[in-house]
């Protein structure tokens, strides 16, 4: 079983490319397990990703205002390096979580909370069978008394589970079809 020290050492190896600060004290509940530590670190990472994306938007707007192509923009290349480093650090964090064995039901719940947090498309399902994993996650949260850290996305997923027309098979398309496909088409039409 992976120890808390191993997790902290692993998390420290993530710091170099993403510039984390492990000196911040962890929430007492988060420090109870290695998964709590990873959840806390990931929440810091999300804030960093938001600032990286804001920087990307600023650099692209500046380049566009100067009628400069993005290929000729060294600032954008630096932002892209930061993005790649962030996603590499995210992969390492996810691997630490996946490779660490949970020792209690509470730790299993925390591992699944981390799964939901790292799912960038948490508001929908890629396949109908994803509903079973999500439902098991929700059941475990209820049994352990935990609350979701992605409540809005969870509500959207629950609505899909209870929608009888979600994931119906369209003979012409040769693929599964779900409600979000309609929303995506409406967004494209509105652009």
Q: Helix (H) and strand (E) counts for the chain? A: 7, 2
Tokens found for residue 173:
């398309």
Mean pLDDT by 10 residues, the chain (191 residues): 48 37 41 83 89 90 78 84 93 92 89 85 78 89 84 86 77 52 52 51
At which residue do the structure tokens 């609505």 appear? Answer: 159
pLDDT at 183: 54
Sequence ranges of the domains in the chain: 1-105, 119-191
pLDDT at 9: 44
CA dist 54 and 42 (Å) reads 18
pLDDT at 11: 44
**What separation in angstroms does the CA of 15 have from each of 12, 34, 59, 72?**
5, 17, 24, 30
Torsion angle, alpha carbons of 149, 155, 158, 159, to 10: -160
CA dist 184 and 76 (Å) reads 28
pLDDT at 147: 80
pLDDT at 118: 85
CB 11 within 8 A of CB 97: no
**What separation in angstroms does the CA of 115 have from each of 46, 125, 186?**
14, 13, 29
Count of residues making up the chain: 191
pLDDT at 66: 78
Tokens found for residue 89:
């650090």
pTM over 0.75: no
């Amino acid at each position: 079983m992976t120890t808390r020290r191993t997790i902290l050492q692993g998390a420290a190896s993530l710091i170099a490319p993403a510039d984390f600060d492990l000196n911040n004290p962890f929430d007492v509940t988060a420090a109870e397990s290695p998964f709590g530590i990873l959840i806390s670190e990931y929440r810091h990472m999300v804030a960093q990703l938001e600032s990286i994306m804001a920087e990307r938007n600023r650099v692209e707007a500046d380049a566009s205002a100067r009628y400069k192509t993005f290929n000729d923009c060294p600032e954008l290349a630096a932002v892209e390096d930061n993005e790649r480093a962030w996603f590499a650090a995210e992969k390492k964090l996810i691997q630490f979580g996946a490779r660490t064995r949970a020792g209690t039901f509470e730790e299993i719940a925390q591992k699944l909370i981390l799964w939901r947090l790292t799912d960038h498309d948490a508001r929908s399902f890629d396949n109908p069978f994803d509903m079973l994993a999500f439902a098991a996650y929700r059941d475990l949260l209820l049994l352990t008394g935990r609350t979701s850290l992605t409540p809005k996305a969870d509500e959207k997923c629950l609505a899909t589970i209870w929608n009888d027309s979600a994931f119906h098979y369209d003979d012409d398309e040769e693929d599964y079809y779900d409600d979000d496909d309609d929303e995506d088409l409406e967004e494209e039409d509105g652009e």
